[in-house]
Structure 1
């Protein structure tokens, strides 16, 4: 069965545990949560810890956590702790963050965020491997790490430090991105294959209007692009799942912008009929 996960809506944190429990009972593989600093969203690691405690089988994932905004040793400890308390169900989706206001609030330099992330990954892998700072994660070397990226230098981090790639991009872009990641993986001499995860925005049924409002608030002056690619019918979602599967993706994350839990049942029907 092809894996399909849900990106959790951030507009109403009080509903997230309901989302978690209902999703855990459905056909979904993973629950993902975005990260921003200067925005009205719940902090992802704390929230996913609560979600892990409210579920039994579904994976939890940051998509993506903005690592350069955080202190490295503490982040390594938090990630390992979450991985342990959820029994290895945690995936650390990670990226640099491109919003100046987030970096200004964190006191970090946006111009050096890529170099900082490379340094952070080296240190976190060392911590997870040596056990200098506990607890040890469930998996030797640390939890699964996916990188969200678009540019070649950022995509190369997948092979250097990661386990796979998270593509928050439309189907027509992903073929080239996936090929680049696969090529750099092979050139680096990595065994096996990188894990490839796609992400699309969805709002099926009467939730569409509310989802559009939240997308507009989140993306600001870039909202028109995101709104134009919002999937709003079961057929569109099914077609996207198939298209990503045909490109060789291992999983698709359906990111939900409306907090109404009826989306879970609607999307479960789509997933069940697609996979």
Structure 2
């Protein structure tokens, strides 16, 4: 099982150091979340910069909100990033559930699922070099980037077998198993070869009390829209972090991405040590 790092969003300038350290410490992926009506860096732009600062590590969105973006421009941005990074980009994508994001983008939130479904076929056609609305978009891709779909609703889970290469499960291990099993069953029922890639997420904070407190405040601000106190609370005890990663491994996850909302880059080495202690 591979381990990735979800990068903090509070200070875009520090992300170069995070990505370089993550690659040096052997992490498989650096990932970035996506919001529009929030103080966070735009993930495709940020990952493009990080692609130039690294050589091996994968670059992943978790998850990009597809309906907020025009299909042709999204196809071009993804293809450019994938080509310039040497095929290291992974498109984690979903519909988004925050009303303010869709209001700012001018997209009807009650149609976001249908909009995303239409995007999937168009993206692959564009990447193959086929005309889209009478025009060739480019750059053409010999191989489409891996697509992972994130979500919880039944419709989101069904999209994995229909359109994607795998599933991003941003759920605690205690109830992730049911979601993962559903995705695998639907994959088999659809007659898909092999098995879906499973990527799980866990919020973490490692280090001194001030680092953990900054992470808690950042997580609380990000999830304030839920009005649920403690939602997304990061794990900070090394033993609990190691146990959570081990639980996802038992569920058959191919990768666990540890999301860091605190901006202290020293967490990279601390988390690498914790991961290294897992038997």
Q: TM bucket by the smaller chain?
A: over 0.9
Q: Tell me the residue number matched to 1:241.
A: 245
Q: Tell me the residue number matched to 2:24.
A: 25
Deviation at 1:97, TM superposition (A): 0.7
Say if 2:261 is the partner of 1:257: yes
Deviation at 1:172, TM superposition (A): 1.0
Distance in 1, Cα, partners of 2:236 & 2:117: 38
Number of residues of Structure 1 aligned to a counterpart in Structure 2: 271
After TM superposition, list the pairs within 5 Å mapping 1:1-275 onto structure 2. Answer: 2-131=1-130, 132-137=136-141, 139=143, 142-206=144-208, 207-222=211-226, 224-227=229-232, 229-274=233-278
Deviation at 1:130, TM superposition (A): 3.4
Distance in 1, Cα, partners of 2:245 & 2:140: 35
Distance in 2, Cα, partners of 1:196 & 1:135: 28
Preserved CA contact (<8 Å) 1:166 1:196: yes
SS at match of 2:93: strand
SS at match of 1:31: strand
Per-residue CA deviation, residues 246-271 of structure 1 (Å, 9 max, x unaligned), is 10100000000101111111001011
Distance in 2, Cα, partners of 1:260 & 1:52: 21
SS at match of 2:223: helix
Per-residue CA deviation, residues 37-94 of structure 1 (Å, 9 max, x unaligned), is 0100000001000001100111000000000000001101111111111111110000
Per-residue CA deviation, residues 139-163 of structure 1 (Å, 9 max, x unaligned), is 2xx1000000111111111011100
Distance in 1, Cα, partners of 2:257 & 2:35: 18
SS at match of 1:154: helix
Preserved CA contact (<8 Å) 2:29 2:60: yes
SS at match of 2:51: helix
SS at match of 2:128: helix
CA distance change for structure 1 residues 237 and 189 in 2, over 3 Å: closer, same or farther? same
TM-score, normalising length from structure 1?
0.96
Distance in 2, Cα, partners of 1:257 & 1:224: 17
Deviation at 1:195, TM superposition (A): 0.2
Per-residue CA deviation, residues 157-190 of structure 1 (Å, 9 max, x unaligned), is 1011100000111001111001110011111110
SS at match of 2:139: coil
* CA RMSD after TM alignment: 1.2
Distance in 2, Cα, partners of 1:169 & 1:152: 14
SS at match of 1:130: coil
Distance in 1, Cα, partners of 2:162 & 2:106: 27
Deviation at 1:226, TM superposition (A): 2.2
